[in-house]
Amino acid sequence: MRVTSPGGDMWQRVQKLLRLNACGHVCVRHVKSKTHLPVLTLFTKHPCPLCDEAKEILEPYKHRFELQEVDISLPENSVWMDRYRFDIPVFHLNGQFLMMHRVNTTLLDRALKKASV
């Protein structure tokens, strides 16, 4: 499935950059995890009280996904900073946008069930 968004050309550049990124940090590249769990990516920065709150809310669900955090304040994640600067926390599930600002547990539960089918 091809992911598109407004400004699709920019999205393609982002995808290319992230595939080429060989950093030691989370390199938002969504492949099947070794555990075969869906990958929930949290776009965050420090400090982020809403991100801390979101991680607490996610705690009961952690056995159902692999959590990857992307610190948008790092230089190699500048594309994500440009995109999500005022919207963190932002969540992607298996590389697709899921939600932002606050955790919607109903939406998360529904998406995790769908992803595990």
Q: What is the 3-state secondary structure (H, E, C) of 34-72?
A: CCCCCEEEEEECCCCHHHHHHHHHHHHHHHHCEEEEEEC
The sign of the CA dihedral 103, 104, 107, 112 is positive
Mean pLDDT by 10 residues, the chain (117 residues): 46 51 46 74 97 98 97 98 98 98 98 92
Instruction: Give the side-chain half-sphere CA count within 13 A for 80.
Output: 26
If you search the block for the tokens 């099947």, which residue do you land on?
Answer: 32
**Residue 6: per-residue pLDDT:** 46
Say which CATH topology domain 33-115 has.
Answer: Glutaredoxin (3.40.30)
**Residue 66: per-residue pLDDT:** 97
**Residue 2: per-residue pLDDT:** 40
What is the pTM for the complete model shown? 0.70
